[in-house]
Amino acid sequence: MIVVDAGATLAWLFGEHDPIDWLAERLTNDRLIVPALWRLEVVNAILKNERRKLISEEQGSRFLRDLDAIAVEAVEPPASRTLGNSRCLPGHIS
């Protein structure tokens, strides 16, 4: 199992190494786990960098196509870490 967040994914995009080759070598026996908001965070960062002209639209699109080719499992945070848990809301301190 390999756990990756949006920050690590974006480092691949803007880094010197080809993440797709690296992942392909490791995912033959492992699976890639990402936080539930991973894709939204990655797409948002790519769009921001396209608007700032740091990457081209083609570069962003190519990277997203490469990521789509990798099987990922998105996982939700544990319930105790979300605002849905009443112990985390103001006035519910125990």
The number of beta carbons lying within 10 Å of the beta carbon of residue 1 is 8
Query: Which structure tokens are listed for 6?
Result: 């949006």
In a domain, 93, yes or no: no
- Domain membership of residue 94 (yes or no) is no
At residue 23, the pLDDT reads 65
What token pair was written down for 67? 């990521």
- Give pLDDT tens digits for 13-51: 777 566 666 666 666 666 778 899 999 999 999 999 999
52 DSSP assignment: T
Residue 18 is part of a domain; what is its CATH number? 3.40.50.1010
Query: Is 18 a domain residue?
Result: yes
**Helix (H, G, I), strand (E, B), or coil: what is residue 37?**
coil
| pLDDT tens readout for residues 50-62 | 999 999 999 999 8
pTM score over 0.95: no
**Domain assignment of residue 50, given as a range:** 2-88
Q: Identify whether 8 is part of a domain.
A: yes
